[in-house]
Amino acid sequence: MNNSLSELKSILQTRFNNSADLSIRYISLRSDQKITAAVITIEGMVDKEELAQVAVNGLLAYDFKSSNANEAFNIMLYSVLASSDVTSFSGFADFSGIEQLIGYITSGFAVFAIDGVERMIAVGAQGYAFRSVSEPESEVVQRGAREGFSEPLRVNMSLIRRRIKDPDLVFEQVTAGEKSKTQIMLCYLQSAVSQKLLDKLRKRLDNCDLETVLASGYLTEYLEDPHTSRLFSGVGISERPDTVCGKLTEGRIAVIVDGTPAVIIVPRLFVEEFQGVDDYSNRTYYASFIRVLKYLSFFISIYLPALYTALAQFHPEYFPTWILIKTANSLSRTPLPVTLEALAVTFVYEIMKEAGLRIPKSLGHAVSIVGALVIGESAVSAGIISSSTLMVAATAAICSYVTSPLYPPVTVLRFGFIAVGGILGLWGIVLATALVLISLCSKTSLGVPYLSSISPFSLRAMRDVFVRSSWRSLSKHTIKVQNFAETEEK
Partner 1 sequence: MRSEVRFSSKRLLLTLMLCACSVILLQNYSVPAELSFTLKLCSLLLGLAVCFICFLPAVLLKKRSGGDLLSLVSRRSMLEQRAVGVFYAVYFLYASLYFLTPYCDMFCKKYYPDASPCLVAFLLLACCVYAAFKGANAITRFGIFLFVLAMLTNILMFGGSVSSLRFDSGAWAIEGGADAFARGVNYFATPCFIAAIFVCLAGEARLFKLRHPLIAVALTGLKFALVLFFITFAVGEYAQRQEYQTFVLSRVAHFGSFAGVESFYMALCTMSVFMIISLLLCCLCKSFNKSGSLPFTASFAVAAFVLHFIAASNNSVKEILTDPLLLNIFSICASVVVPLLYYFRSSFERSRHA
Question: In Å, what is the CA distance from 166 to each residue of 109, 245, 256, 481?
Answer: 28, 12, 19, 20
For residue 129, give every residue at least 6 positions away whose Cβ sits within 8 Å of its Cβ, in sequence order, or none.
Answer: none
Segment near partner 1 (CB under 8 A); pick from 43-51, 211-219, 288-296, 424-432:
424-432
- Residues binding partner 1: what is the number (CB under 8 A)? 28
Segment near partner 1 (CB under 8 A); pick from 71-79, 110-118, 342-350, 425-433:
425-433
Binding partner 1 (rule: CB under 8 A), the pick from 418, 451, 461, 465 is: 451
State how beta strands 63-65 and 30-31 pair.
parallel
Cα 240 to chain centroid, rounded: 10
Q: How far is the CB of 293 from partner 1 (least distance, A)?
A: 20
Q: Which helix (H) or strand (E) holds 114?
A: strand 109-114
d(CA 5, CA 145): 50
Binding partner 1 (rule: CB under 8 A), the pick from 368, 456, 470, 476 is: 456
Segment near partner 1 (CB under 8 A); pick from 4-12, 178-186, 297-305, 431-439:
431-439
Query: Is the CB of 91 or the CB of 425 nearer to partner 1?
Result: 425
In sequence order, the β-bridge partners of residue 41 are 23
Buried/exposed code over 392-426 (b: 16+ C-beta within 10 A; e: otherwise): bbebbbebbebbebbeebbbebbbbbbbbbbebbe
For residue 481, give every residue at least 6 positions away whose Cβ sits within 8 Å of its Cβ, in sequence order, or none.
Answer: 194, 197, 250, 251, 252, 267, 269, 448, 452
Buried/exposed code over 126-158 (b: 16+ C-beta within 10 A; e: otherwise): bbeeeeebeebeebebeebeebbbbebbbebbe
Binding partner 1 (rule: CB under 8 A), the pick from 347, 437, 460, 476 is: 437
Query: Is the CB of 211 or the CB of 317 nearer to partner 1?
Result: 317
Binding partner 1 (rule: CB under 8 A), the pick from 431, 470, 473, 477 is: 431
Residue type, 14: T
Site residues for partner 1, 176-195, by CB under 8 A, read: none
| Dihedral class, residue 108 (left if φ above 0, else alpha if ψ from -120 to 50, else beta) | left
Q: How far is the CB of 433 from partner 1 (least distance, A)?
A: 8
Q: How far is the CB of 447 from partner 1 (least distance, A)?
A: 9
Burial of 429 (0-12, 13-18, 19+ CB in 10 A): buried
User: What is the per-residue binding string for partner 1 in 366-405, x denoting contact by CB under 8 A?
Assistant: ----------------------------------------
Q: How far is the CB of 221 from partner 1 (least distance, A)?
A: 21
**487 lies in the binding site for partner 1 (CB under 8 A):** yes
Query: Is the CB of 185 or the CB of 485 nearer to partner 1?
Result: 485
Q: How far is the CB of 451 from partner 1 (least distance, A)?
A: 7
Q: Are 180 and 212 in contact (CB under 8 A)?
A: yes
User: What is the per-residue binding string for partner 1 in 290-329, x denoting contact by CB under 8 A?
Assistant: ------------------------xx-xx-----------
Question: In Å, what is the CA distance from 290 to each residue of 121, 240, 370?
Answer: 55, 20, 33
Query: Is the CB of 38 or the CB of 436 nearer to partner 1?
Result: 436
Query: Is the CB of 172 or the CB of 199 nearer to partner 1?
Result: 199
Q: How far is the CB of 440 from partner 1 (least distance, A)?
A: 9
Q: Please give the residue ranges that form the binding site for partner 1 (CB under 8 A).
A: 314-315, 317-318, 424-427, 430-431, 434-435, 437-439, 441-442, 449, 451, 454-457, 486-490
